[in-house]
Each structure stands twice: as C-alpha cells, then as structure tokens.
Amino acid sequence: MKNEQIQEVRSSGMLLIMGLVGLSLAIVATPWNRQFQDSRVEVALQKAEIVGYQVVQIYREASKSSLPDDKKSRVPASISSSDSAFPADLRSTGTMGTDPWGAPFRYRILSADKSGNVRILVWSTGPNQKAETADLDNEEAVIAGQPSYAGDDIGVLLSMTHN
C-alpha cells in the first residue's frame, strides 16, 4: 500500500511540472525567435541595397542615349541630345527581387539629374507583406530624407553617382 501512495501522481504536481516546462520554453523561445526575425531584417536590408544598385545599373543602361552625337544625323525634332540623357518614359517606381518573406522589393527613384547623381529608395513590406508606410509608391509625393517606416516595413535610401 505504501508503494502505491509513493508512485501516485497528483494532478497538482503534474500541472506544476507542465507550467515549469512551458515557462522555460517561453524563456528560451522568445530570444531565439527575436534573433531569427532580426537576422531576416538584416538580410532584407542587405538585399535592398543590392537591389538598389541593380536598379541604378538598369536605369543607367536604359537612360543611355542610342542617338548619335553627330549633328548631321537624322533625329526627331522633338528630341534634343540634352533630353536623351534621362528619357521621360523610364519608370521611376517598380518591383524587383524578393525579400526574405517572399514578397518583391519595391523601389522608387527619387531623383536623377544630369550630373549623374541618383537617389533611390528600396523597401520591403516586411513579414506581413502589407505596405503600411504611406506615399512610398506615390510618385507625386516628395520624399526629402529617410522616410519613417510604419508597421513592419523596412528599407534603405541610397544616393550614388550613376556614371
């Protein structure tokens, strides 16, 4: 009889053990999950920079004039050689590549002048894949400096010479 009493498992003891196991898992899992998310954010920022450089390279190739500089050549009268450096039909917004969460990076060329300086904004919509920062896609909205990202959106603002 005494052996049966010793081996008896009480529900209160089992609840205490399960609570301790759950608490220890929460303590261990929270920093691990945060570290995992932080590493994805770092990868997203690094990839955003790479995408930015790629977009500028593509923009540079697309903006190269195919018109000869020879003044005797035949070109439409509406196009001057100074206008051909940055054609108006190049898109200043778009998507390219994928972020760590599987959504495409978005980009917006903020400014490109004839001296070769290009400012470009590249951002990710983050884990929830919803654009929460207003006016990033809006080509009419002026973005002077680094935007304040809302929600879980992240991105980089790059400024480079595109020559």
The letter for the amino acid at 27 is I
Helices (H), the chain: 2-7, 11-63
Per-residue pLDDT, 50 = 92
| Residues 92-112 pLDDT 10s | 888 989 999 999 999 988 877
| 81, pLDDT greater than 50 | no
Per-residue pLDDT, 104 = 92
| 61, pLDDT greater than 90 | no
The letter for the amino acid at 34 is R
Distances from the Cα of 118 to the Cα of 8, 56, 102, 129, angstroms? 75, 8, 27, 27
pLDDT category of residue 88 using cuts at 50, 70 and 90:
low
Per-residue pLDDT, 3 = 61
Q: Read off the pTM.
A: 0.61
Q: Name the region of 138 (left: φ>0; alpha: ψ -120 to 50; beta: rest).
A: beta
